[in-house]
């Protein structure tokens, strides 16, 4: 039997125990502390699990899915060659020819950008370049469309952002238009920030009422106390772990590593990590947590809420990054098993497309009627009908 992997060590549970069984003697802040530490532990597990599963999925995509995509593009290219040959050498109706043009020119044009240069003559045959007259007429139409679009965009930015366009402003291309808008918005932002700074300066000079001054002093004191609460934990651990005071070399290395963890957690504002390390190193015990003053717990809870929000954001960022990599939505998929199932489904679908294309290309080469049957089933999408997903 294969040896089971050693499970990763779980972080120390940081919670305030109830005084006696069946009693509900915890205060509001104590309950909030327990709720937040439990939530952070759960989020840490979700982030860690998702990150590990995402890394494994990325590796499998590179090793298993990307080669399938290459095979899929190869078969699409083979289909283009078969359709191009039939277009030139097989007796086809006008409708069948139009369908071949749509399939090749509109559904497989990306192959030219993927290195299938031998397909270029087929595209030139099915979609010949315009004549000089046609090119001139097309350029005129595009210029007229760009002018109409520019006027429409000007009107939209006037109404939504209050931007006025100078008569001599060069917005003749989308890039120039965007550059002008960016410049105007930056100027307005700078003006707004200047006004806000001046207003802030006036407010600072304005004498506060006793009530306002008391509120400001209270807020400042809470911020200082919150910072001091974390710094107290940090300094206690630093003093305990200082490697220069350790004569044993192995213990010195261990303390150096622990001190690095402490410093990283302190800089990141990870209060729970510092508390876990204090429990791990016997710097505090559960009774110490139970006897924490309410004001100290309030400061701790504020930091724990911030830590929970940061972990939520980390999970969202990991999910977004994986979605960008695969094109699949993973915002509600956090388990390794769900990702595995989704990957196998994607892989099976692509393998099925490859088999279908292989069979169709082979049939087209042996039986002209097979191509006609294929084209009969294919429907050219109607203009303006929205995005079409063709299984090629």
List, for residues 186-197, the tens digit of each pLDDT value. 888 888 888 888
Residues 193 and 150 placed together within one structural domain of the fold: yes
| Same domain (yes/no): 223, 277 | yes
Asked whether residue 212 is assigned to any structural domain, the reply reads no
Answer whether residue 260 is part of any domain: yes
| 392 lies in some domain | no
Residue 359 domain-assigned (yes or no):
yes
CA atoms of 152 and 162, how far apart (whole Å): 14
Q: Is the pLDDT of residue 5 over 70?
A: no
Helix (H, G, I), strand (E, B) or coil at 63: helix
- Does the pLDDT of residue 240 top 70, yes or no? yes
Q: Is the pLDDT of residue 132 over 80?
A: yes
CA angle 75, 80, 86 (to 5 degrees): 125
**CA dihedral angle for residue 253, residue 256, residue 257, residue 259, rounded to 10 degrees:** 160
Domain boundary among the residues 292, 326, 360 is at: 326
Domain finish residue from 182, 205, 228: 205
- Nearest in space to 82 (alpha carbons), one of 367, 385, 387, 379: 367
Say if CB 289 and CB 21 are below 8 A apart: no
Number of domains in the chain: 3
Distance, CA of 324 to CA of 304 (rounded, Å): 30
In a domain, 50, yes or no: yes
Domain termination site, one of 267, 296, 326: 326
Mean pLDDT over 81-110 rounds to: 94
CA 102 to chain centre: 34
Interior angle at CA 390, CA 389 and CA 391, nearest 5: 115
Tell me the pLDDT of the chain averaged across its residues. 83
Residue 389 lies in a domain: no
Average pLDDT over residues 143-163: 83
On whether both 191 and 230 belong to a single domain, the answer is: no
Residue 286: CB atoms within 10 A of its CB come to 13
How far is 289 from 81, CA to CA, in rounded Å? 74
Alpha-carbon gap, residue 155 to 161, rounded angstroms: 10
Q: Are residues 188 and 242 in the same domain?
A: no
Identify the band that residue 212 occupies on the pLDDT scale cut at 50, 70 and 90: low
Q: Is residue 12 part of a domain?
A: no
Would you say residue 228 has pLDDT above 80?
A: no
pLDDT of residue 215: 62
Residues written for the chain: 392
Q: Where are the alpha helices (DSSP H) in the chain?
A: 28-60, 66-89, 94-101, 107, 120-126, 132-161, 174-205, 210-241, 249-268, 271-280, 286-290, 294-326, 336-366, 368-377
Q: Would 180 be classed as within a structural domain?
A: yes
Angle between the 28-60 and 271-280 helix axes, to the nearest 10 degrees?
100
252 pLDDT exceeds 90? no
Q: Which residue has the higher pLDDT, 41 or 20?
A: 41
Q: Is the pLDDT of residue 389 over 60?
A: no
Mean pLDDT of all residues in 262-278: 82
DSSP 191-224: HHHHHHHHHHHHHHHSPPPHHHHHHHHHHHHHHH
CB 122 within 8 A of CB 77: no
| Full residue range of the structural domain in which residue 322 is found | 217-326
Q: Is the domain of 322 the same as that of 237? A: yes
Cβ neighbour number for residue 61 with a 10 Å cutoff: 18
What is the reported pLDDT for 136? Answer: 87
Please check whether residues 48 and 112 belong to one and the same domain.
Answer: yes
| DSSP state for residue 168 in the 8-state scheme | T
3 DSSP 8-state letter: P
């Amino acid at each position: 039997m294969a040896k089971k992997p050693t499970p990763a060590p779980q972080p120390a549970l940081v919670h305030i125990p109830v005084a006696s069984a069946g009693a509900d003697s915890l205060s509001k802040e104590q309950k909030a502390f327990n709720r937040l530490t439990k939530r952070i532990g759960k989020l840490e597990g979700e982030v860690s699990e998702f990150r590990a599963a995402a890394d494994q999925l990325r590796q499998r995509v590179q090793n298993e899915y990307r080669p399938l995509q290459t095979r899929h593009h190869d078969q699409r290219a083979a289909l283009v060659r078969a359709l191009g040959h039939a277009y030139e050498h097989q007796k086809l109706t006008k409708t069948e020819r139009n369908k071949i043009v749509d399939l090749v020119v509109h559904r497989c044009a990306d192959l030219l950008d993927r290195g299938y240069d031998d397909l270029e003559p087929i595209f030139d045959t099915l979609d010949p370049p315009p004549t000089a007259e046609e090119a001139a007429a097309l350029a005129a139409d595009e210029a007229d469309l760009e002018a109409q679009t520019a006027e429409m965009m000007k009107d939209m930015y006037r109404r939504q952002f209050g931007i006025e366009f100078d008569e001599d402003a060069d917005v003749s291309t989308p890039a120039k238009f965007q550059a002008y808008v960016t410049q105007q918005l930056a100027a307005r932002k700078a003006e707004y920030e200047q006004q806000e700074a001046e207003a802030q300066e006036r407010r600072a000079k304005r004498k506060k009422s006793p009530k306002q001054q008391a509120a400001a002093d209270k807020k400042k004191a809470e911020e200082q106390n919150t910072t001091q609460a974390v710094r107290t934990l940090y300094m206690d651990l630093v003093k305990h772990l200082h490697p220069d005071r350790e004569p044993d070399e192995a213990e010195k290395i261990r303390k150096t590593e622990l001190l690095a963890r402490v410093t990283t957690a302190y800089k990141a504002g990870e209060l729970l990590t510092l508390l876990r390390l204090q429990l791990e190193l016997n710097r505090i015990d559960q009774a110490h947590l139970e006897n924490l003053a309410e004001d100290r717990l309030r400061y701790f809870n504020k930091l724990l809420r911030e830590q929970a929000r940061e972990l939520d954001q980390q999970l969202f960022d990991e999910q977004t990054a994986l979605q960008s990599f695969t094109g699949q939505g993973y915002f509600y998929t956090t388990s390794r098993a769900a990702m595995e199932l989704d990957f196998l489904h994607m892989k099976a679908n692509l393998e099925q497309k490859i088999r279908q294309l292989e069979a169709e290309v082979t049939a087209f080469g042996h039986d002209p009627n097979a191509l006609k049957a294929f084209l009969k089933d294919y429907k050219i999408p109607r203009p303006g009908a929205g995005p079409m997903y063709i299984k090629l």
